[in-house]
Amino acid sequence: MIDWIDVARISVAMNLVMLLALTWIWARNYRSFRSKHALGLAVFGTVLLAQNALSLYFYLYHPVLAAWFATDMPPLAWRANIVVHAFQTVALAFLLWVTWD
């Protein structure tokens, strides 16, 4: 059986790495060009980075939720949760590819 907590942790960790790269690029662009578009992207990246960091905290370190996620969360709920994380990972990977180019 797939250990869904590990899939979630890996997906969220990948999202964090990609969001760090994207936010760094967008913040650098804002400092260079002072455009509202670059500022908006940097703020978006920062908020999404905070959301993913909070998710990873809940999956790894929260005294109550980490144990619940690892042992008691129903598999159907995990699959639904993983789909959301996986879609976000794919979207961020594409966005990183487009931004880096």
- Picking from 20, 80, 8, the residue whose alpha carbon sits closest to that of residue 48 is 20
The 10s digit of each residue's pLDDT in 20-74 is: 999 999 999 999 999 999 999 999 999 999 999 999 999 999 999 988 888 888 9
For position 53, what pLDDT does the model report?
98
pLDDT band for position 82 (cuts 50, 70, 90): very high
Between these two residues, 67 and 13, which has the higher pLDDT value?
13
pTM of the model: 0.91
CA-to-CA distance for 85 and 56, rounded, in angstroms?
A: 11
CA-to-CA distance for 17 and 15, rounded, in angstroms?
A: 6
For position 92, what pLDDT does the model report?
98
